[in-house]
Amino acid sequence: MRVLIVEDEKKVAGFIKKGLEEETYAVDVAYDGEEGLHLAKEGYYDLVILDLMLPKMDGLEVLSELRGGKKDVPILLLTAKDTVEDRVTGLNRGADDYLTKPFAFSELLARVRVLLRRGKAEVKTELQIADLSLNLVSHKVNRGGGEVELTGKEYSLLEYFMRNQGKVLTRTMIAEHVWDYNFDTFTNVIDVYVNHLRKKVDKGHSKKLLHTLRGVGYIMKA
């Protein structure tokens, strides 16, 4: 499960991110409304945790843009304001739940789990391309009936490719979505991981799924 946190207070964002990652969620963070809206629109997330008071674009604007664009991802609002009017406004604009700061992580986690359970009927549990399948619940990967053993990072990389099959993914895009921090994309770390993944996924199969586009990036297609 992948969660997007849109929160300008780095201490709060770090606190939530650390806790969710310890619960095995994959987490991305945006520190302003514009970046949060861009990530939420372009990426695939099972849940968005959205602060109301944000620079560049406030949380209610982000919320309205997402719902206006038919994004039905569950959204949990965070705010330091604790007035009925604020809660009603957020819920009326399409938020699924509301949490007032300060909060205990246990309460946040309980609300996250409820929202994810509520949306499970609409959330895919398996990704498929040709004879390659990835189970999002068990984290098992199979190709042609045989199990493919992957490291955690290889699994995240494959999931990103399979969610974006048919699309060209640059090294920068892969770095932002899989490594989750800003590192030097001119190093060969991404290339090494993609090569490892290709050997595990394509080796021994006549139909290759993972392709390199020299000077551009990578694409997964059948």
pLDDT digits (tens, 9 = 90+) for 62-115: 999 988 876 788 999 998 766 677 777 888 888 888 888 888 788 888 889 888
- How many residues does this entry show for the chain? 222
Count CB atoms within 10 A of the CB of residue 105. Answer: 15
* pLDDT cut 70: percent of the chain above it: 90
Helix, strand and coil content of the chain, in percent to the nearest 5, comes to 40, 20, 35
DSSP character string of 105-120: HHHHHHHHHHHHHHTG
Q: Which residue has the higher pLDDT, 138 or 179?
A: 138
Domain ranges of the chain: 2-122, 126-220
Per-residue pLDDT band at 184 (split at 50, 70, 90): low
Which CATH number applies to 126-220: 1.10.10.10, 1.10.3720.10, 3.30.70.100, 3.40.50.300?
1.10.10.10
CATH superfamily of 2-122: Response regulator (3.40.50.2300)
